[in-house]
Amino acid sequence: MAEFVSVEVADQIATIRLDRPKMNALNAQVQLEIAEAARMTDADPGVHAVVIYGGERVFAAGADIKEMADMSYADMSSHSRTLQDCFTAVARIGKPVIAAVTGYALGGGCELALCADFRVAGESAKLGQPEIQLGIIPGAGGTQRLPRLIGPSRAKDLIYSGRHVPAAEALAIGLVDRVVPDAEVYQAARDWAATFTGGPAIALRAAKQAVDRGLEVDLDSGLEVERLQFSGLFATEDAKNGMRAFAEKSIPKFTGR
């Protein structure tokens, strides 16, 4: 049983819930528990979409600075790989993932939200990469995922300054996708996740992999990734059912096979 990260599944939606009072600081144990939760939800065929949630007050205020403060270069050289691997496990969940952001999502908390496909934020939420104010830089994907999401100039602004970005600005620059009243964040994320339940799970996984892998390579290589994923789907029952339903003007029934 994990101590700080739980997984609850209801209506084909898994909620990965962070609960390490007071601010969900992401120490080494929490990182490992997040990775295990990610692998569990990815492997569960009964889960069609995932919500990452830190509770009503805060998403995650960042890494545990007290834990890191006394680490040497050798210590962090080893630990940083584990840190990145744990967050990458979330990014590699082959299902739609939505981060429900309340309160602060700073440093590692922002980097965790970046691993999701979509981000729903509360009106009073603040996001950012304040590591520069500690004399360091983001180490869990912030320098890589953030510019891919909002562009290099805006990412550099956030990383160089370390400033906290309010929800309205985060929406305007594409750092979050929706802003809702604070009390509605989790339900809004679940409602969005519900739009993916009952859908063609294999095709959704293929679409996610094609987009994510395509961003990592040149255009020609990305097109080849797309071609292979596209062609492979013609071996699935879902594709046959979907196209047959289209021809018959009926509602397709997807089985994930």
Q: Over its length of 257 residues, how does the chain's per-residue pLDDT go in tens digits?
A: 689 999 999 999 999 999 999 999 999 999 999 999 999 999 999 999 999 999 999 999 887 788 888 888 888 888 888 889 999 999 999 999 999 999 999 999 999 999 999 999 999 999 999 999 999 999 999 999 999 999 999 999 999 999 999 999 999 999 999 999 999 999 999 999 999 999 999 999 999 999 999 999 999 999 999 999 999 999 999 999 999 999 999 999 898 88
Residue 127: closest CA among 193, 207, 181, 59: 59
Residue with tokens 């009926």: 250
Contacts of 176 (CB under 8 A, 6+ apart): 101, 119, 120, 121, 125, 127, 167, 170
Q: Whole-angstrom Cα distance, residue 121 to residue 18?
A: 16
Amino acid letter, 212 = D
Q: Whole-angstrom Cα distance, residue 148 to residue 139?
A: 16
In this structure, which long-range contacts are made by residues 230-236, counting pairs with CB atoms below 8 Å and at least 24 apart in sequence?
Answer: 230/206, 232/206, 233/202, 233/203, 233/206, 236/200, 236/202, 236/203
Q: At 179, is the secondary structure helix, strand, or coil? A: strand
Looking at the annotation, which residues are catalytic? Answer: 111, 131
231 DSSP β-pair partners: none
Structure pTM? 0.93
